[in-house]
Amino acid sequence: MADAIPLYAAEKPESPARRRIRRWSLPFEFLFACLAAFAGALALTVSFFALFSGAGAIWLSAENSWLVFAGDAPPREAVQFNALPMATQLVAAAAYAMIAGSLVAAFICLAALFRCYRQGDVFGAAPQAWMQRAAFALIVFALSPGLLQPLLAALGSPDRNWFHTHSLAALICGAALFVFARVVALGREVEREAKDFI
């Protein structure tokens, strides 16, 4: 009697390490999705008050910017955002959209990255792409305030506080993510070579 030969190889069982990565990725996917939603909602709220509040709810000074509600005293030596020249308001709004948008984009990309991990895709092209997108968004978030400050100052914006420690942290994290993306690419090459060898 002839022996039966399976036409298809049995699917390789999932390794414990990959199973742990899938399990641990779920809370991080949820965390970054929540951070993206919160940052987006905050950006829309600030934009609404800055562009559509006739009472001048946004106030700027050399040190900081404030959201001032009706009945509250504005900060000393601060200027209403609505009182600035229209060109300054438009450029400042575009700068804020770039800064806030890049942060939201970074959180969305990180949530997508951990979604790939949760689905078991660790060394694929998708996680590498999401990692690179998150890195680019973090670097834009870190560098935009400093690069746009001279233009805003020339247009009359009183805000001079453009360097923040969180910008440096975002720049370092973005650069590190680019390196990690190359590690993922290397891992994919090693995994492909191992399959070809077998």
pLDDT of 132 reads: 95
pLDDT of 153 reads: 76
Burial string for 103-128 (b: 16+ CB within 10 Å, else e) reads: bbbbbbbbbbbbbbbbeebbbeeebb
- Spatial separation of the C-alpha atoms in residues 183 and 131, rounded to whole Å: 11
Question: Would you say the pTM of this structure is higher than 0.85?
Answer: no
pLDDT of 178 reads: 92
Residue 23: which of 118, 161, 106 has the closest Cα? 118
pLDDT of 110 reads: 97
Residue 60: which of 33, 30, 40, 83 has the closest Cα? 83
Token pair in block for residue 55: 């009472």
- Spatial separation of the C-alpha atoms in residues 81 and 98, rounded to whole Å: 18
Q: How far apart are the first and last CA of the chain?
A: 30
Cα 58 to chain centroid distance, Å, stands at 24
The residues spanned by each domain of the chain are 17-197
- Spatial separation of the C-alpha atoms in residues 12 and 14, rounded to whole Å: 6
pLDDT of 123 reads: 83
Token pair in block for residue 118: 């949760």
Where in the chain does DSSP place strands (E)? 58-60, 65-67, 79-80
pLDDT of 21 reads: 83
pLDDT of 91 reads: 82
Per-residue pLDDT of the chain (198 residues; tens, 9 = 90+): 555 555 554 556 777 777 888 889 999 999 999 999 999 998 888 777 766 665 557 777 666 666 666 666 666 777 777 777 888 778 888 888 898 999 999 999 999 999 999 998 888 889 999 999 999 999 999 998 888 888 877 777 777 667 778 889 999 999 999 999 988 888 778 767 666 655
Is residue 85 within 8 Å of residue 155, measured between CB atoms? yes
pLDDT of 64 reads: 66
